[in-house]
Structure 1
Amino acid sequence: MMPTHSLRRLAGSLLLACLSVTAMAAPQHALTLYDEPPKYPASFKHFDFVNPDAPKGGTFRQSSFGGFDSLNPFINKGVPAENIGSIYDTLMRQSLDEPFTEYGLVAGKIEKAPDNSWVRFYLRPEARFHDGQPMRADDVVWTFNTLVSKGAPLYRVYYGDVAEAVAENPLTVLFKFKHKNNRELPLILGQLPVLPKHWYAERDFTRGNLEIPLGSGPYKIAQVKAGRSVRYERVKDYWAKDLPINRGFYNFDAMTFDYYRDNTVALEALKAGQFDYMLEMTAKNWATAYNVPAVREGRLIKEELLNGNPVGMQGFVFNLRRPVFQDIRVRQALSLMLDYEWTNKQLFNGAYTRTGSYFENSEMAAKGLPSPAELKILEPLRGKIPEQAFSEAFHNPVTDGSGMIREQQRKAYKLLQDAGWKIVNDKMVDTQGKPVSIEFLVAQTEFERVLLPFKRNLADLGIELSIRRVEVPQYINRLRSRDFDMIVSGFPQSSSPGNEQREFWSSGAADNPGSRNFIGLRDPAIDQLVEALINADSRQSLIDHARALDRVLLWGYYVIPNWHIKTWRVAYWNHIGHPKVSPKYDVGIDTWWIKPDVTPAVTAQPAQPADAEQPGEAN
């Protein structure tokens, strides 16, 4: 189809014939995945989940884990500082109470081709960087081309269906697509940060260093202590501060992040008033570690906020690049050795639910037997995917919680025998006669207690599991180089999964060091399912394709599913306030504020030295 700007040049009769087409492609203030009306009209004043009159001021103190050595989050080198994204503006921004709707930020209006062959962004003339230079179409095109050519490898996959980015004039950018069936692509491009072309003119974009970058967002970096702390300050003359999508946001005058190497130390620092807020990830801590006077007196608040997101899949991930895991029977046998029921009762105070889907906590999770629509998707792949996907519902093994799992061990031993493994001198050996030894790579001390029972269960089968804890930079480098046997990791999902699924499961991402295909999947059948999901043309089709993909992943035993909770557990001091209505799909921390009439428990203190034993667990 000819672009709209060319249609306008045509004479009378052709113009009349095209009136309906141009109407369909009229610029909009928001985009949705299936062209359904957005929740908020063009005339909206603010989102429902904010306090539009929230007070501005104060310093919001948070903790972070590990360390950092870079202020460039766009390359595959170094560990970027926490919250670095707050210094950049994007073309659009997603609302936090809709599954997948974006509203214009740098781009005030967006025009999408009726046949989805292109998208055009109309930039706000007032948009500018922190040095006062205007944000223009050349910056957008330069950013896109630079991320694809020099950024982390994930950008080449993420933007893979874009044929060309064109600056039509200083305030208009056109992205042309290679294909017309990628409905998510205009929204993905809306998430593009706009970087300053002029600032990078004499700098090497591929370097990861601690030079403070030029941004355009609501905050700028004010102070950096390498690996120890970073301080952001609110930009008082931020160009977009009065836009409806920003009203009630960005209320803190400053935000600080102090780094810890041990989450137990971080929790004690929170209780001592050394920082203001923590998203608690450890069930044991939530149940037992907050029994302190500050909580009992209501000065330190514990609160659970409903999480409407799919929780995705966290699990013990097998690296299929290792020969030891390439037999599905081996992976299934090892999966039987996790005694979840005992773990949840003894270690997590019964706080969790076992995860049974890669799209858990959503309508996209595969439950029961496949529907006719799912079977229609799966049938062409018969013989290429596990046969159980057609006729059985996947269920995790269930124990009695006593810690005795003899039945699971018998099943596991039989599966390992079928795979050609056997016991020699009380050691399990593989098909080559080599004793089986597996290294589990972790970065967080707290996860070791979760792995020790799993280690003991494997030892009963003659399998050695070594738990290898390393510092965060080394952990990230080993993940990028795929130098691990097993890790614990997550595959987060949104309410509208799309192009990011390639990063998780596709063959093209298997050897990409920046992807999240930690498993090392190279399966043409899964590639086909992923592409079909991305190209779904309706919400129901998306659901059916997600469920079909879910079944194939589950029956492949690529991870040992862990557990989840359907709330965010937050602890914060009572001088912090938040809106009465929380967004469905996020904690919404950028909408919180400092109460001007409440004195903080402890005034801000210098960051702890990074070499002190300091914050970590994921459960």
Structure 2
Amino acid sequence: MYGDPALPPDFVSLPYVNPEAPKGGRVVFGNTGGFDSLNPFVPKGTPPWQLRFLSYESLMGRSWDEAFTLYGLLAESVETAPDRSWVEYTLRQEARFSDGSPVTVEDVIWSYETLGAQGHLRFRGFQAQVAGIEQTGPRSLRIRFNTDNRELALIAGLRPILKKAQWQGKDFTASGLTEAPIGTGAYVVTDFEAGRYVTLRRNPDYWGRDLPFRRGTQNFDELRIEFYGDATVLFEAFKAGQISAVREFNAEKWLTQYDFPAITRGDVVKSEIPNQRPSGMTGLVMNTRRAPFDDWRVREALLSAFNFDYINDTMTGGVQPRITSYFSSSELAVRPGPAAGRVRTLLAPYADSLPPGALEGYSLPMGDGTARNRDNLRRAMALLNEAGWRVQEGVLRNAKGGSFGFSVLLRQADGEMQRVVDLYSQALRRLGIEVRVNTVDDAQYAARIAALDFDMTNFRRDLSLSPGNEQRLYWGSAGAGQEGTRNLMGMASPAADAMIDAMLTSESREDFTAAVRALDRVLTAGRYVIPIWQYDVSRIAHIRQMKYPADRLPIYGDGVNFMPDVWWYEEE
């Protein structure tokens, strides 16, 4: 995106892999919930989330040790206009689908057009910015853009490539469990039982096994994904040796419950993987399409009533730090105090529409350190009074006599957030607010989220060191009222839209950073999410035979492109 790639044209492997890692072994991972689809590219159904990353590839691939760089994968070369108004790719002659058929320009164009028209919403925003796609040679194609957006030339290289011939005369959107799309990735689904397990095996004829970009990666012969009703059952299965590795997101549990016999014997190893990426946002999101969440004073009151220190101490032993903004713990995070310099210049034209504190400086309410959190509850009540709510006989009511009550929509498997809400509800009841917890299975949860049928729900957005077009999906006004949107809070902010535009048209890293910091101000001061704690260190417990290159960790740390991608199986 800016400057030059870190690796030379003749690099032999990515810097965070073991290029001599052995191939072989079988590992088992666990998911909570179930699945009813093997197609991860369409809106309908719930597929195992890992399929998108294990079985499918794109023209370019990311290095997870660089913030904003792609390298050739299915494409052997890439060319772009100086103004990034078009990008042209030339396919590798050896590129093959898992069934052995060659990847053609026709397959690539069909994939872009089909996903742009029928695929998941996350693919459609890109397609709307494409002026045209045409073949320019036996193995080359050019994509022209209709939008001034310098990141599109990179984003274009990350679309999954599927086989056109597979879907002739078939409905791509209705495949469900009947047929998995054919991809070019190293792993192929070989067996499954709906809702219970999926087995993937490494294709011995995988076309890219000798590419420098793939050297030292995709080392396991077999990956099996088992499904469990909730996280407690999954953890017991891991302790019993039925699962090879788990990611633990609770620091206190990591310290107190990982002392079972397999760890004592050394059969299971605890590994901690640091990272340099932004915190992202995890917490409880409020649906501002519904009253009373459309009033910022109400949202600030609910933030004030959330006793973070007490809840964090109860849930994690106080070990995990608080999320303070969407890009906290990174160079992209909002700086404390009033906006200054380039950030203020970007935000100034939107001063009248900005939430309070965006220009002046905003920080999350801090508790008084006690379990009852009296000072913040008094502040919350004052804000609620200002917004027209009064306590009458123990119930918070508005001028029309309507009571303040709302429901929190959660997955049945999300036991941790259920406990957070239980603790939070105790404080809200003291304000006269009635909270109902509505737990549903994965399918019902996905359907209700897609239909925007919730008051408050759990929320997680992983954010990278190279934010771009996906920010429009997360916060853009265009998706605020659209079913299936990822803009769950329903924010429609001209300032946020403009900051995203500024990010995408920046020609220097300095301007880009200023635009992201300005966006972080708008998001944080908007008070849309009640944040919880950061996952600043990844905690993975795994069988001792699973190894990873601990001496060369990528800046992004752990993720789907770390485990299982760069791990290997080795008997000691």
Q: TM-score range by the shorter chain?
A: over 0.9
Alignment of 1:369-380 (within 5 A): 369=337, 370-380=339-349
Aligned partner letter, 1:234: R
| Residue in structure 2 matched with residue 438 of structure 1 by the alignment | 406
Give the conservation status (yes or no) of the 8 Å contact 1:96–1:584. Answer: yes
Provide, for residues 325-351 of structure 1, a one-character-per-residue CA deviation record: whole Å limited to 9, x for no partner: 111111111111110111122221112
Cα distance change, pair 103–431 in 1 and its aligned pair in 2 (3 A): farther
Q: Does 1:187 align with 2:158?
A: no
Q: Identify the match of residue 184 of structure 2 among 213, 216, 232.
A: 216
| Residue in structure 2 matched with residue 275 of structure 1 by the alignment | 243
Distance, in Å, in 1 between the alignment partners of 2:35 and 2:369 is 40
Q: Does 1:522 align with 2:487?
A: no
The DSSP-based 3-state class of the residue aligned with 1:455 is helix
Distance, in Å, in 2 between the alignment partners of 1:578 and 1:547 is 34
| Residue in structure 2 matched with residue 14 of structure 1 by the alignment | none
Distance, in Å, in 2 between the alignment partners of 1:586 and 1:448 is 28
Give the conservation status (yes or no) of the 8 Å contact 2:40–2:49. Answer: no
Aligned partner letter, 1:502: R
Give the conservation status (yes or no) of the 8 Å contact 1:351–1:565. Answer: no
Provide, for residues 42-77 of structure 1, a one-character-per-residue CA deviation record: whole Å limited to 9, x for no partner: 111111211111111111111011110001111111
Q: Identify the match of residue 138 of structure 1 among 87, 106, 112.
A: 106
Q: Which moved more, 1:336-345 or 1:367-376?
A: 367-376
Q: Identify the match of residue 47 of structure 1 among 5, 14, 20.
A: 14
Q: CA deviation at 1:312?
A: 0.9
Q: Identify the match of residue 202 of structure 1 among 165, 169, 172.
A: 169
| Residue in structure 1 matched with residue 34 of structure 2 by the alignment | 67
Give the conservation status (yes or no) of the 8 Å contact 2:452–2:484. Answer: no
| Residue in structure 2 matched with residue 381 of structure 1 by the alignment | 350
Aligned partner letter, 2:77: K
Q: CA deviation at 1:118?
A: 0.3
Aligned partner letter, 2:538: W
Structure 2 unaligned blocks of 5 or more: none
Aligned partner letter, 2:379: K
The DSSP-based 3-state class of the residue aligned with 1:323 is coil
Cα distance change, pair 234–201 in 1 and its aligned pair in 2 (3 A): same
Distance, in Å, in 1 between the alignment partners of 2:288 and 2:201 is 45
Alignment of 1:445-464 (within 5 A): 445-464=415-434
Give the conservation status (yes or no) of the 8 Å contact 1:138–1:170. Answer: no
Distance, in Å, in 1 between the alignment partners of 2:511 and 2:10 is 32
Alignment of 1:516-595 (within 5 A): 516-580=486-550, 581-587=552-558, 588-589=562-563, 590-595=565-570
Q: Identify the match of residue 340 of structure 1 among 303, 308, 312.
A: 308
Q: Does 1:288 align with 2:256?
A: yes
| Residue in structure 2 matched with residue 261 of structure 1 by the alignment | 229
Distance, in Å, in 1 between the alignment partners of 2:14 and 2:520 is 33
Percent identical pairs in the alignment equals 39
Q: Identify the match of residue 159 of structure 1 among 103, 116, 127.
A: 127
Q: Does 1:57 align with 2:24?
A: yes
Aligned partner letter, 2:12: K
The DSSP-based 3-state class of the residue aligned with 1:361 is coil
Q: CA deviation at 1:208?
A: 4.0
Q: CA deviation at 1:525?
A: 2.6
Q: Which moved more, 1:428-437 or 1:271-280?
A: 428-437
Alignment of 1:55-134 (within 5 A): 55-85=22-52, 86-134=54-102
The DSSP-based 3-state class of the residue aligned with 2:292 is helix
Aligned partner letter, 2:37: S
| Residue in structure 2 matched with residue 355 of structure 1 by the alignment | 323
Q: CA deviation at 1:387?
A: 4.4
Q: CA deviation at 1:359?
A: 0.7
Distance, in Å, in 2 between the alignment partners of 1:300 and 1:74 is 35
Give the conservation status (yes or no) of the 8 Å contact 1:56–1:252. Answer: yes
| Residue in structure 2 matched with residue 227 of structure 1 by the alignment | 195
Q: Which moved more, 1:283-292 or 1:238-247?
A: 283-292
Aligned partner letter, 2:205: D
Q: Identify the match of residue 252 of structure 1 among 205, 215, 220.
A: 220
Q: TM-score, normalised by structure 2?
A: 0.96
The DSSP-based 3-state class of the residue aligned with 2:516 is helix
Aligned partner letter, 2:482: N
Give the conservation status (yes or no) of the 8 Å contact 1:75–1:208. Answer: no
Q: CA deviation at 1:464?
A: 0.4
Give the conservation status (yes or no) of the 8 Å contact 1:158–1:500. Answer: no
The DSSP-based 3-state class of the residue aligned with 2:213 is helix
Distance, in Å, in 2 between the alignment partners of 1:387 and 1:559 is 16
Distance, in Å, in 2 between the alignment partners of 1:182 and 1:223 is 42
Q: CA deviation at 1:551?
A: 1.1
Cα distance change, pair 431–240 in 1 and its aligned pair in 2 (3 A): farther
Distance, in Å, in 2 between the alignment partners of 1:231 and 1:40 is 35
| Residue in structure 1 matched with residue 457 of structure 2 by the alignment | 487
Higher-Rg structure is: 1
Distance, in Å, in 1 between the alignment partners of 2:398 and 2:541 is 48
| Residue in structure 2 matched with residue 390 of structure 1 by the alignment | 359
Q: Which moved more, 1:155-164 or 1:141-150?
A: 155-164
Provide, for residues 478-515 of structure 1, a one-character-per-residue CA deviation record: whole Å limited to 9, x for no partner: 10000000011022211011111101111111123333
Which stretches of structure 1, 4 residues or more, deviate above 4 A after TM superposition?
none
Q: CA deviation at 1:561?
A: 1.7
Q: CA deviation at 1:293?
A: 2.5
Distance, in Å, in 1 between the alignment partners of 2:257 and 2:400 is 48
Aligned partner letter, 2:275: N
Corresponding residue pairs, total: 562
Distance, in Å, in 1 between the alignment partners of 2:11 and 2:323 is 39
Q: CA deviation at 1:197?
A: 0.5
Distance, in Å, in 2 between the alignment partners of 1:76 and 1:132 is 28
The DSSP-based 3-state class of the residue aligned with 1:563 is coil
Aligned partner letter, 1:169: G
Distance, in Å, in 2 between the alignment partners of 1:386 and 1:306 is 34
The DSSP-based 3-state class of the residue aligned with 1:324 is coil
| Residue in structure 2 matched with residue 26 of structure 1 by the alignment | none
Aligned partner letter, 1:368: P
Provide, for residues 546-570 of structure 1, a one-character-per-residue CA deviation record: whole Å limited to 9, x for no partner: 1111112211211112110311111
Aligned partner letter, 1:192: R
Distance, in Å, in 2 between the alignment partners of 1:453 and 1:230 is 36
Give the conservation status (yes or no) of the 8 Å contact 1:77–1:208. Answer: no
Q: CA deviation at 1:81?
A: 1.9
CA RMSD of aligned residues (A): 1.3
The DSSP-based 3-state class of the residue aligned with 2:348 is helix
Give the conservation status (yes or no) of the 8 Å contact 1:228–1:259. Answer: yes
Cα distance change, pair 212–382 in 1 and its aligned pair in 2 (3 A): closer
Q: Identify the match of residue 499 of structure 1 among 469, 492, 500.
A: 469
Q: CA deviation at 1:524?
A: 2.2
Q: Identify the match of residue 313 of structure 1 among 281, 286, 292.
A: 281
Alignment of 1:603-618 (within 5 A): none
Aligned partner letter, 2:160: P
Aligned partner letter, 1:537: E
The DSSP-based 3-state class of the residue aligned with 2:305 is coil
Aligned partner letter, 2:547: G
Give the conservation status (yes or no) of the 8 Å contact 2:163–2:181. Answer: no
